[in-house]
Structure 1
Amino acid sequence: MGPIRHMLADAGVTEQQWRVLRVLDEDGPLDPTTIADRAVLLLPSLTRILQKLEEKEFVTRRRDEEDRRRQVIEVTASGSALIEANMETSRRILRELRERLGDEKHETLITLLSELNDLEI
């Protein structure tokens, strides 16, 4: 994770903030529960992360038009620009990791991490 952490530190975001931004950028506006699930975060942690991302003006929060109790979080143009500016570096780092592990070990790692994520503890 060292190279990824270095890239994110240069971008001014944490690993968790990056995951949230990526989820929103890829999936569009979502409610916090869905974001937490897709970014593999606990909801209380996500609440703090969203506050920081709002302060940095990378996301906005609004009430759902149909269900006023529900919040909808959306990535801003600044948040999308941050992702775009760092995406090639992120892809390069992940490509290098895959090359160093080899395809078989990389696929095994992804499978095991997915299984671990799916465990209900």
Structure 2
Amino acid sequence: MARPTPSLTLALLQARESAMDFFRPHLNQHNVTEQQWRVIRILWQAEDQTLESYQLAERACILRPSLTGVLVRLEQNGLVRRWKPETDQRRLCVTLTPQGNALFDSMKGEMMRQYQKIQQRLGPEKYRTLMGLLDEVQKLDPDDPQ
């Protein structure tokens, strides 16, 4: 019986775990989970640091029901604020608080140093290639007959 081809999804997960090993100690030092950090970073990068919850869930790769729990804890810690616009109570918006911004600012230097370590170990060309390939994979459409 022929061996199955290597699993792309498993390889991506294993690579993610290896990459996260660079960041976990810093996250743990600040008592921030990986999901909480993704939410904080994505909000920090958003145009006015505000997104609707469905946008945030999509960008952070967190299922909506799980995101609710993450947001509750972040709100309890004073890092985000959730609110519904008066014009449309069906929407739920999330914004980074000044305390959330301060946390991001205090963490970003070390996080950037870890990214630099990864780049140095891979080399700039391999890092650019990796990021380019990951971008291509993200854009693949499973329904495209090509």
TM-score w.r.t. length of structure 1:
0.89
The answer to whether residue 29 in structure 2 is matched with residue 16 in structure 1 is no
Report the count of equivalent residues. Answer: 121
Deviations 1:29-68 (A, max 9, x none): 1111111122222222211111111121111111113211
2:139, 2:59 → 1: CA distance?
Answer: 11
Q: 1:83 aligns with which of 95, 104, 110?
A: 104
Coordinate RMSD, CA, aligned: 1.6
- Percent identity reads 39
Q: 2:44 aligns with which of 20, 25, 36?
A: 25
After the TM superposition, which segments of 4 or more aligned residues of structure 1 sit over 6 Å from their partners? Answer: none
Kindly tell me: are residues 40 and 114 of structure 1, through their superposed partners in 2, closer, same or farther at Cα, counting changes over 3 Å? Answer: farther
Q: Structure 2 stretches of 5 or more lacking a match?
A: 1-19
Q: CA deviation at 1:120?
A: 6.0
1:11, 1:41 → 2: CA distance?
Answer: 21
The answer to whether residue 57 in structure 2 is matched with residue 58 in structure 1 is no
SS of residue paired to 1:57 = coil
Q: CA deviation at 1:77?
A: 1.0
Partner of 1:2: 21
| Greater RCO structure (CA 8 Å; 6+ sep) | 1
Stretch deviating more after TM superposition (86-95 or 111-120): 111-120
2:57, 2:135 → 1: CA distance?
Answer: 16
Q: Structure 1 stretches of 5 or more lacking a match?
A: none
SS of residue paired to 1:67 = coil
Q: 2:55 aligns with which of 9, 24, 34?
A: 34
Kindly tell me: are residues 83 and 30 of structure 1, through their superposed partners in 2, closer, same or farther at Cα, counting changes over 3 Å? Answer: same
Partner of 1:111: 132
2:60, 2:86 → 1: CA distance?
Answer: 24
Partner of 1:69: 90
**Greater Rg, structure 1 or structure 2?**
2
Q: CA deviation at 1:75?
A: 0.7
Q: CA deviation at 1:108?
A: 2.5
